[in-house]
Amino acid sequence: MRDEKEPVTVVCFGDSLTWGFNPVDRSRYGHQVRWTRLLQKELGAAFHVVEEGLNSRTTVFEDPVMGDKNGLAHLATVLQSHKPIDILVIMLGTNNLKRRFNMSATEIGLSMERLIALATRSDAGPDGAAPKVLLMAPPPANDFTGTGFEDQFLGETTREISRRLAPVYAQIAAAYGTGFLDTGRHVATSAVDAIHLDPDTQPVLARVVAAEVLKLV
Position 129 scores a pLDDT of 98
Report the percent of the chain where pLDDT is more than 90.
98
- How does pLDDT run across 123-178, given as a tens digit for each residue? 999 999 999 999 999 999 999 999 999 999 999 999 999 999 999 999 999 999 99
Q: How far apart are CA 70 and CA 105, in angstroms?
A: 18
Q: How far apart are CA 130 and CA 83, in angstroms?
A: 10
Position 113 scores a pLDDT of 98
Nearest to 90 by CA among 160, 137, 35: 137
Nearest to 212 by CA among 19, 43, 14: 43
4 pLDDT more than 80: no
Cα within 13 Å of Cα(92), Cβ side = 33
- How does pLDDT run across 51-98, given as a tens digit for each residue? 999 999 999 999 999 999 999 999 999 999 999 999 999 999 999 999
Q: Which domains does the chain have, with CATH numbers?
A: 8-216 (3.40.50.1110)
- Encode burial over 106-116: b for 16+ CB neighbours within 10 A, e otherwise: eebbebbbebb
- pTM of the shown model: 0.97
How do 132-137 and 8-14 pair as beta strands?
A: unpaired
